[in-house]
């Protein structure tokens, strides 16, 4: 397991804060209130480990197959439904949504290999990520991948906790399947808009691993 570069600054600041708090408690209260000093140490150490875990990148064998759409994020499948596309596409699509809790790996990955033909950032609200209107009203990035005449749209969506979405892609880029395409800090949601003739390989409530779980096959 490694730590993502997006976490370096936050982890460094949290570590410094952890050190300052515990040094102060040790020198000011450790003799008079040793139990409180120990409790503060345990709580702050736990919070430090939680922050570090937000930015972990576990080692895993990625799924690289031309006929598949792989999960762009770790999380839980919270929606599989036919919808009317309201951005880029004008037809009906199958929407598959993955909710990323604060405990999930936060790296986002390319669901397929292909050319990036569209990227748009949308300012918006910070509704809870599983809210039905989160896909269209929350802060988000929309990205379209094109491969062999087929196109899919991916949305990185901010939630109540996630206040920063990071996207590494640019229009015209040749994306590699399962490679990193972005990061959403402290959990949120990722949507896929897929063509109707694709075969869905997941069901509601399934747990996904980014770059590994097969969401659909052509």
In sign, the C-alpha dihedral spanning 169, 167, 87, 65 is positive
**CA-CA-CA-CA torsion for 216, 105, 162, 188, nearest 10 degrees?**
30
Structure tokens belonging to residue 6: 């997006």
User: DSSP string covering 132-164, please?
Assistant: TTHHHHB-EEEEEEEETTEEEEEEEE--SS---
Tell me the angle at which helices 34-54 and 8-29 cross, rounded to the nearest 10 degrees. 180
97, 135, 142, 188: which one is catalytic? Answer: 188
φ, ψ of residue 7 in degrees (nearest 5): -95, -10
Examine the residue annotation and report whether 30 is marked as an active-site residue of this protein. no
Residue 188 backbone zone (phi > 0: left; psi -120 to 50: alpha; other: beta): left
- Please give the positions annotated as active site: 188
């Amino acid at each position: 397991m490694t730590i993502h570069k997006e976490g370096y600054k936050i982890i460094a600041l949290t570590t410094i804060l952890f050190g300052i708090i515990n040094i102060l408690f040790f020198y000011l209260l450790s003799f008079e209130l040793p139990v409180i000093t120990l409790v503060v140490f345990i709580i702050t150490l736990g919070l430090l480990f939680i922050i570090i875990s937000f930015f972990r990148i576990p080692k895993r064998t990625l799924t690289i197959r031309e006929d598949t759409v792989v999960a762009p994020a770790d999380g839980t499948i919270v929606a599989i439904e036919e919808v009317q596309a309201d951005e880029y596409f004008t037809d009906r699509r199958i929407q598959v949504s993955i909710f990323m809790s604060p405990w999930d790996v936060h790296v986002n990955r390319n669901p397929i290999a292909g050319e990036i033909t569209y990227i748009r950032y949308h300012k918006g609200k910070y509704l809870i990520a599983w809210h039905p209107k989160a896909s269209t009203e929350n802060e988000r990035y929309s990205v379209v991948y094109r491969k062999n005449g087929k196109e899919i749209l991916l949305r990185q969506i901010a939630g109540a906790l996630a206040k920063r979405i990071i996207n590494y892609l640019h229009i015209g880029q040749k994306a590699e399947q399962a490679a990193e395409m972005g990061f959403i800090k402290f959990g949120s949601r990722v949507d896929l808009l897929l063509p109707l003739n694709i075969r869905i390989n997941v069901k509601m409530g399934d747990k996904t691993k980014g770059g590994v779980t097969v969401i659909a096959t052509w």
